[in-house]
């Protein structure tokens, strides 16, 4: 049976706690029937693999090891609130980043390119580093959310540090209560 996989930078410790505090603040301000990401599931996605044959997991691990081993640790800052496709039409709410963004994009691009050898499609849009914390539902009133989210952005500063020292291969198990993520493999950055 296939496994639903993705590659990500985990968020841990103090960084996770500070992000969870900001999510709680957003939940109190934005009561629009949003689908909130569980604080335990916070991660910075590098590549979504989707349903994957478990037989190629050893090759994915080898590819990740070879691709990530030359990369050094990164320093990132969650420094803004944002949304896709725009703050005028907020469908996905996220924490934006700065810091070693060019190096993070290079890491993501290397992973993306190396996995094409295993049959995974290359991303067809530019990688925009972000950490999703909420998504709208069909019943969400986007026009009202837009106004309140823009007020929230203007009234809340954000500067949360994260050291990126590993890349993880994660399995997403879907349940009615929400997804549960299980790390299957990780590679340390030097």
Residues serving a catalytic function are 43, 130
According to DSSP, the residues that pair with 167 across neighbouring strands are: 187
Kindly report, residue by residue over 134-180, the tens digit of the pLDDT: 999 999 999 999 999 999 999 999 999 999 999 999 999 999 888 89
For residues 109-114, give the mean pLDDT. Answer: 97
pTM: 0.93
CATH number of 3-188: 3.90.1140.10
Domain ranges for the chain, please list them: 3-188
Considering the chain, what is the average pLDDT of its residues? 95
| Per-residue model confidence (pLDDT) at position 31 | 84
- Is 90 exceeded by the pLDDT of residue 71? yes
- What span, in angstroms and rounded, lies between the C-alpha atoms of 79 and 158? 5
Q: Which residue matches tokens 């301000």?
A: 29
- Is 90 exceeded by the pLDDT of residue 130? yes
Long-range contacts, stretch 100-105, CB < 8 angstroms, 24+ apart: 100/74, 100/75, 100/76, 100/164, 101/76, 101/129, 103/71, 103/72, 103/74, 104/74, 104/76, 104/129, 104/164, 105/129
| Per-residue model confidence (pLDDT) at position 178 | 84
Kindly report, residue by residue over 9-37, the tens digit of the pLDDT: 999 999 999 999 999 999 999 988 899 99
- Is 90 exceeded by the pLDDT of residue 112? yes
| Per-residue model confidence (pLDDT) at position 177 | 84
């Amino acid at each position: 049976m296939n496994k639903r996989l993705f590659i990500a930078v985990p968020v841990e410790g103090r960084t996770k706690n500070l992000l969870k505090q900001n999510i709680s603040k957003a939940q109190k301000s934005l009561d629009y029937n949003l689908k909130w990401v569980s604080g335990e599931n916070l991660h910075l996605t590098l590549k979504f693999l989707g349903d994957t044959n478990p037989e190629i997991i050893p090759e994915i691990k080898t590819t990740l090891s070879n691709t990530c081993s030359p990369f050094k640790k990164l320093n990132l800052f969650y420094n803004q609130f944002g949304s896709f496709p725009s703050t005028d039409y907020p469908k996905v709410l996220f924490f934006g980043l700065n810091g070693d963004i060019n190096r993070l994009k290079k890491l993501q691009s290397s992973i993306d390119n190396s996995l094409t050898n295993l049959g995974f499609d290359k991303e067809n849009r530019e990688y925009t580093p972000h950490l999703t914390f909420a998504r709208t539902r069909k019943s969400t009133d986007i026009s009202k959310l837009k106004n309140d989210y823009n007020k929230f952005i203007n009234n809340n500063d954000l500067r949360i540090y994260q050291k990126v020292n590993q890349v993880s291969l994660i399995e997403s198990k879907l349940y009615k209560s929400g997804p549960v993520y299980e790390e299957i493999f990780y590679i340390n950055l030097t």
